[in-house]
Amino acid sequence: MARYELRFSGAGGQGLITAGIILAEAASIHEGKQAVQSQSYGPEARGGASKSEVIIDDVPVDYPKATKVDALLALTQEACDKYSADLKDSGILLYDTDLVTKLPEGGFKKVGFNIINTAKNEVGREIVANIVALGAMIALTGVVSRENGLKAVLSRVPEAFLELNEKAYAAGFEKATAAAK
């Protein structure tokens, strides 16, 4: 695998940094790849645009920031507007259809579904929207296997929430697979 750059973007407090950390762990711990994760958020911490970037490669990552993004998650319009400029034409934009209504121009593949609504109404808790989104990103990119992504999720959450997070991950994976067709 050549260098692959992913960016999770949305509002502070949506768990996107956690999603990035989990993906990096899935790649490095469970698949033996090289991975780095970095994050950026405004001074608001909650509510302002934030991003988490993950770089995955077979060789040591020489630069830890995304420069030509292969896959972008946008959970808010502000994040989509702010962070989509360096998405490759061959890349993938995953977006929440309820919150991102103005899509950027480009040759990249656009895949959308109601990510936050899925977490809230189908899984049962809005707080797991980041895990729904993570499952979706893994389904669309194939950067790690479905199984190793799930292992990384379950190793990060408290025991009382294993079932909820497993359900969220599966919902995201399945919805993204269906939306991409």
What confidence tens digit (pLDDT) does each residue in 7-56 have? 999 998 899 999 999 999 999 999 999 999 999 876 655 667 889 999 99
pLDDT of residue 46: 61
pLDDT of residue 42: 66
pLDDT of residue 43: 62
pLDDT of residue 141: 98
What confidence tens digit (pLDDT) does each residue in 147-156 have? 999 999 999 9
CATH code of the domain in which 91 resides: 3.40.920.10
* Residue 51 domain boundaries: 4-180
pLDDT of residue 49: 83
Q: Is the pLDDT of residue 79 over 80?
A: yes
pLDDT of residue 181: 86
Tell me what the mean pLDDT of segment 74-80 comes to.
Answer: 96
Number of structural domains found in the chain: 1
pLDDT of residue 41: 72
pLDDT of residue 88: 97
Write out the DSSP string of the chain: ---EEEEEEEETTSSHHHHHHHHHHIIIIIT--EEEEEEEE-TTSSSSEEEEEEEEESS--S--S-SSEEEEEESSHHHHHHH-TTEEEEEEEEEETTT--SPPPSSSEEEEE-HHHIIIIIIS-GGGHHHHHHHHHHHHH-SS-HHHHHHHHHHHS-GGGHHHHHHHHHHHHHHHHHHT-
More confident residue, 41 or 124: 124
